[in-house]
């Protein structure tokens, strides 16, 4: 059985996509790296709709049918008055993953790059010396261990505590914390190459409902609504009503709940000796709620920067990660957040009118740009949100 060594260059806390990728790139860059996951198996439990774009995958791993459940070539939107409109995408534009296997594969790549990967190891504190993070305390098989490191990468997900322990401000406004529920349902007869989205006050206020196919008449069916809405009527009730109405004969194979931080990235994602990545850093796309690809990008940037810092023996280099992230996605997420705020104010009439206008465009000519233009026509004040986003008013 693997035992902890006394000291590492980099310790990564959390074996989700962000952590696995961070560990891989840190190790590839020559840093002696340890990846710690509290659960007994990487990839379980799955709390995710598992949809991702092809390019989001390809930056990290060659697409493989071992962990692809569906290949996506269209979106299907349904507005509150049940107007349904399809939008073509390129062939294999995205995937619905099997995250159990996908996350395992990412961990395997980290191990192959030289990182030690240890599961069932729960990080319950940071070693702090004069305010600088110098390692972690771990609960492992009933015993307590302390392992030192020059850098800790916190990839401990939406409920992250490591950043807070290091003194970083990690709170996400409860209105931006989407409350999500999802079932894996079978006996669901849908197009296996389409991602379905349902919008509207009665279905998923300040959010959306999704159906993502997983092959064999099985699908992830879930929804996310803003924290404020969830207080009035729970996300679970919205989902139960939808399932009852639309899939009364479906069997539920799995039920999960979880939060998605649909806010911009934290202002500070680096503190002395520690970097935050993935959901822990709030690197989710605030508009779509997707965090697999963006978390992996954050993980990659942090992993590379940590290795550089070790190689040059200069721990201040880890601050470069913050700038790299903002340039790559962080600034764009600020804009998406503004757009989200504009779109969340759409009424059912807006959505109905957008769907009907979009139906008037020939199928093969429909795309996200045209959909967006129609949305602007229906709600010109969205322009103001965009302008504000660019001008940072």
Query: Within a 13 Å sphere around the CA of 285, how many CA atoms are in the beta-carbon half?
Result: 19
Of residues 297-326, those binding ligand FAD (CB under 6 A): none
Is residue 298 helix, strand or coil? helix
Residue window 350-369: x/- pattern of binding to ligand FAD, with contact defined by CB under 6 A: --------------------
Residue 122 contacts ligand FAD per CB under 6 A: yes
Is residue 16 helix, strand or coil? coil
- For ligand FAD, the binding residue among 28, 50, 105, 116 (CB under 6 A) is 50
Find the shortest distance in angstroms from Cβ 133 to ligand FAD.
Answer: 14
CA 36/CA 42 separation, integer angstroms: 10
Residue window 145-174: x/- pattern of binding to ligand FAD, with contact defined by CB under 6 A: ----------xxxx----------------
**Edge to edge, what strands does the sheet with 74-78 contain?**
84-88, 74-78, 194-198, 208-213, 218-225, 177-186, 251-261
- For ligand FAD, the binding residue among 13, 152, 172, 375 (CB under 6 A) is 13
Find the shortest distance in angstroms from Cβ 51 to ligand FAD.
Answer: 4
**Minimum CB distance to ligand FAD smaller for 163 or for 272:** 163
Residue 37 contacts ligand FAD per CB under 6 A: yes
**Minimum CB distance to ligand FAD smaller for 68 or for 284:** 284
Q: What is the DSSP string of 211-270?
A: EEE-STTEEEEEEEE-HHHHHHS-HHHHHHHHHHHH-TT-EEEEEEEEEEE-SPPPS--E
Residue 117 contacts ligand FAD per CB under 6 A: no
Find the shortest distance in angstroms from Cβ 96 to ligand FAD.
Answer: 8
CA 388/CA 393 separation, integer angstroms: 5
Residue 222 contacts ligand FAD per CB under 6 A: yes
Residue 176 contacts ligand FAD per CB under 6 A: no
Find the shortest distance in angstroms from Cβ 361 to ligand FAD.
Answer: 26
Q: Hunting for tokens 């007869």 — which residue is that?
A: 189
Residue 11 contacts ligand FAD per CB under 6 A: no
Find the shortest distance in angstroms from Cβ 117 to ligand FAD.
Answer: 12
Is residue 17 helix, strand or coil? helix
Phi-psi region of 313 (alpha: psi -120 to 50; beta: other; left: phi over 0): left
C-alpha distances out from residue 340 to 76, 263, 281, 351, Å: 19, 9, 19, 14
Residue window 63-102: x/- pattern of binding to ligand FAD, with contact defined by CB under 6 A: ----------------------------------------
For residue 205, what are its two tokens?
A: 């206020």
Of residues 244-303, those binding ligand FAD (CB under 6 A): 258, 260, 278-280, 284, 289-293, 295
Residue 107 contacts ligand FAD per CB under 6 A: no
> Residues 6, 8, 10, 13: is their CA dihedral positive or negative?
negative
**Minimum CB distance to ligand FAD smaller for 17 or for 272:** 17
- For ligand FAD, the binding residue among 8, 10, 14, 179 (CB under 6 A) is 14
Residue 123 contacts ligand FAD per CB under 6 A: yes
CA 191/CA 211 separation, integer angstroms: 10
Q: What is the DSSP string of 59-95?
A: TTS---TTSEEEEE-EEEEE-TT--EEEEE--TT-EE
- For ligand FAD, the binding residue among 9, 10, 11, 15 (CB under 6 A) is 15
- Binding residues vs ligand FAD (CB under 6 A): 13-19, 36-39, 47-52, 122-123, 155-158, 180, 182, 222, 258, 260, 278-280, 284, 289-293, 295
């Amino acid at each position: 059985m693997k035992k902890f060594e006394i000291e590492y260059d980099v310790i990564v806390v959390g074996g989700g996509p962000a952590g696995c990728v961070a560990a891989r790139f840190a190790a590839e860059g020559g840093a002696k790296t340890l990846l710690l996951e509290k659960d007994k198996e990487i990839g379980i439990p799955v709390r995710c709709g598992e949809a991702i774009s092809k390019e989001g995958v390809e930056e990290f791993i060659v697409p493989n049918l071992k962990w692809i459940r569906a290949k996506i070539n269209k979106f299907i939107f349904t507005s509150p008055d049940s107007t349904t409109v399809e939008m073509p995408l390129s062939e294999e534009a995205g995937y619905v993953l099997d995250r159990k296997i996908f996350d395992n594969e990412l961990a395997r790549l980290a191990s192959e790059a030289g990182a030690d990967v240890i599961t069932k190891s729960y990080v319950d504190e940071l070693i702090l010396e004069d305010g600088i993070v110098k390692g972690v305390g771990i609960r492992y098989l009933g015993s307590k261990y302390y392992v030192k490191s020059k850098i800790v990468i916190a990839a401990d997900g939406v409920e992250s505590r490591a950043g807070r322990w290091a003194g970083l401000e990690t709170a996400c406004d409860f209105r931006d914390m989407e409350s999500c529920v999802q079932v894996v349902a079978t006996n669901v007869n849908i197009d296996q190459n389409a991602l379905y989205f349902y919008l509207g006050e009665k279905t998923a206020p300040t959010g959306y409902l999704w159906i993502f196919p997983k092959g064999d008449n099985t699908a992830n069916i879930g929804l996310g609504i803003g924290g404020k809405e969830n207080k009035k009527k729970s996300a679970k009730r919205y989902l139960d009503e939808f399932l009852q109405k639309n899939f009364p004969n479906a069997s539920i194979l799995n039920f999960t709940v979880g939060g998605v931080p649909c806010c911009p990235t934290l202002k500070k994602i680096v503190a002395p000796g520690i970097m935050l990545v993935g959901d822990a850093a709030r690197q989710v796309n605030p508009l779509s709620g997707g965090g697999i690809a963006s978390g992996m990008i954050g993980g990659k940037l942090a992993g590379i920067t940590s290795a550089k810092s070790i190689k040059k023996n200069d721990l201040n280099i880890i601050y470069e990660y913050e700038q790299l992230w903002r340039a790559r996605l962080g600034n764009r997420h600020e804009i998406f957040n503004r757009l989200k705020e504009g779109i969340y104010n759409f009424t059912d009439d807006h959505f109905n009118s957008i769907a009907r206008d979009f139906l008037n465009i020939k199928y093969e000519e429909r795309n996200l740009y045209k959909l967006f233009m129609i949305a602007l026509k229906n709600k010109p004040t969205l322009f103001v949100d965009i302008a504000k986003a660019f001008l940072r008013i």
